[in-house]
Amino acid sequence: MSTAVTPALQHKTARVLSIERVTPKILLIRFRMEDPTELPFRAGQFIQVLIAPRIMRQYSLTSAPSEKQDFLLCVDDSPVGEGSRYMDALKLGDVMPFRGPFGVFTVPETETRPVELVATGAGIAPIRSIILDRLPRTIVPLRLVFGNRSEEFLFFHEEFLELTQKFAHFTYVPTLSQPSDVWEGFRGRVTDILAHETNSIGHPFYLCGNAGMIDDMRKVLATKGVPEGDVHFEKFF
């Protein structure tokens, strides 16, 4: 009887290259592959980090698949759980064991319809990977609606603005639920933006963020007549 282990289930290792706190809740941690030296994956997939014997935590890959030797993780350490404590304790040069990639939160290569991407907080992780992967390779329109609480919690903002200048088929809509008086963008939740639109039918939606946002978005899209098969989601707890 064969006992071969699939590549995704084999333990891999990567070394910490950089750690950056970008908001009071979010850490961006960049890794370089050690064993093996490359990590093939599809935009939108995740890895399982071994934080203790027999204890795994899932983190979506935030970088583009073209970065085969390095990858980026977006970590919300505000829950202060086992995963958060493990990630907070990582130092430059530390080696992290993990398995993967896994997951089907991916946009098919054959998708030719305008793609709607909706994220809140750390839910931007797989969405950013999808954006960086698809924009240079296809002219299919992409729109990102990115919700956060206030300016101090908004990250990747400048990068997404630059991408709108570089790619005419990319639209970026940041929205804040509790902005300062000087905020000139949209005010409210991501559901507030989609609730007032009438052209959503026929577009595939990819939602990632907290469970409440995803449940609310699914209800809004259902009232708009968007078929369930066109709504893809990944909940971050």
The per-residue pLDDT for range 116-134, each reduced to its tens digit, is: 999 999 999 999 999 999 9
Strand order of the sheet with strand 115-120?
Answer: 186-187, 170-176, 142-148, 115-120, 205-209, 231-235
Contact in structure between 237 and 213 (CB atoms under 8 Å): no
pLDDT at 5: 57
pLDDT at 1: 39
**Helix (H/G/I), strand (E/B), else coil: 163:** helix
Distance between CA 16 and CA 60 in Å, rounded? 16
- Report residues of the chain scoring pLDDT below 50: 1-3
Q: Per the structure block, which two tokens stand in for 191? A: 């559901």
pLDDT at 157: 97
Amino acid, res. 106: T
pLDDT at 205: 97
103: left (phi over 0), alpha (psi -120 to 50) or beta: left
pLDDT at 95: 98
pTM for this model (two decimals): 0.94
pLDDT at 79: 84
In the chain, the domains with their CATH numbers are: 10-102 (2.40.30.10), 115-235 (3.40.50.80)
pLDDT at 197: 75
Q: Show the beta-strand stretches assigned E in 82-194.
A: 95-102, 115-120, 142-148, 170-176, 186-187
Contact in structure between 37 and 69 (CB atoms under 8 Å): yes
Under DSSP, the state recorded for 65 is T
pLDDT at 201: 77
Count how many Cα atoms sit within 13 Å of the Cα of residue 119 in the half-sphere of its side chain. 25
